[in-house]
């Protein structure tokens, strides 16, 4: 049995919906990446996440302008007090 297979059978996954063998492969791939490659990949994932959030907001609110899109996007990550204090945007009143 390979070390990868042994790992997959002994270790609980970090995500409940991930097969241990798939997670072991993913971890092995990450270990082989340089720090720069891992950082680049994290930036790519962040951009993908932001784009998906933008698309969801546009789907739910197709007629909003860019400012409102940004406010709704920011309010997904910032707490309501910060949104009100910094941007004058109340997520409870105007939405997420």
Q: Give the model confidence (pLDDT) of 46-88 as tens digits.
A: 999 999 999 999 999 999 999 999 999 999 999 999 999 999 9
CB 28, CB 4: distance < 8 Å = yes
Asked if residue 41 is part of any domain, the answer here is no
**Is 21's pLDDT higher than 80?**
yes
Are residues 52 and 12 part of one domain?
no
pLDDT at 6: 58
Asked if residue 39 is part of any domain, the answer here is no
Are residues 56 and 27 part of one domain?
no
Q: What φ, ψ does residue 33 adopt, rounded to 5°?
A: -75, 150
Are residues 50 and 28 part of one domain?
no
CB 4, CB 25: distance < 8 Å = yes
pLDDT category of residue 14 using cuts at 50, 70 and 90: confident
What is the spatial distance between Cα 43 and Cα 59, in angstroms, rounded to a whole number? 24
Number of domains in the chain: 2
- Assessment of whether the complete model's pTM goes beyond 0.85: no
Are residues 57 and 25 part of one domain?
no
- pLDDT tens digits for 23-41? 999 999 999 999 999 999 9
* Structural domain harbouring 62: 46-96
Asked if residue 57 is part of any domain, the answer here is yes
The SS3 assignment for 48 reads: helix
């Amino acid at each position: 049995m390979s070390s990868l297979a042994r790992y997959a059978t002994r270790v609980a996954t970090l995500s409940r919906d991930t097969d241990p063998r798939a997670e072991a492969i993913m971890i092995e791939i990450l270990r082989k990446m340089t720090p720069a490659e891992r950082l680049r990949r994290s930036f790519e994932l962040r951009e993908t996440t932001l784009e998906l959030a933008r698309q969801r907001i546009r789907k739910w609110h197709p007629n909003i302008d860019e400012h409102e899109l940004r406010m709704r996007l920011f309010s997904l990550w910032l707490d309501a007090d910060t949104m009100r204090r910094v941007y004058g945007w109340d997520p409870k009143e105007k939405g997420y």
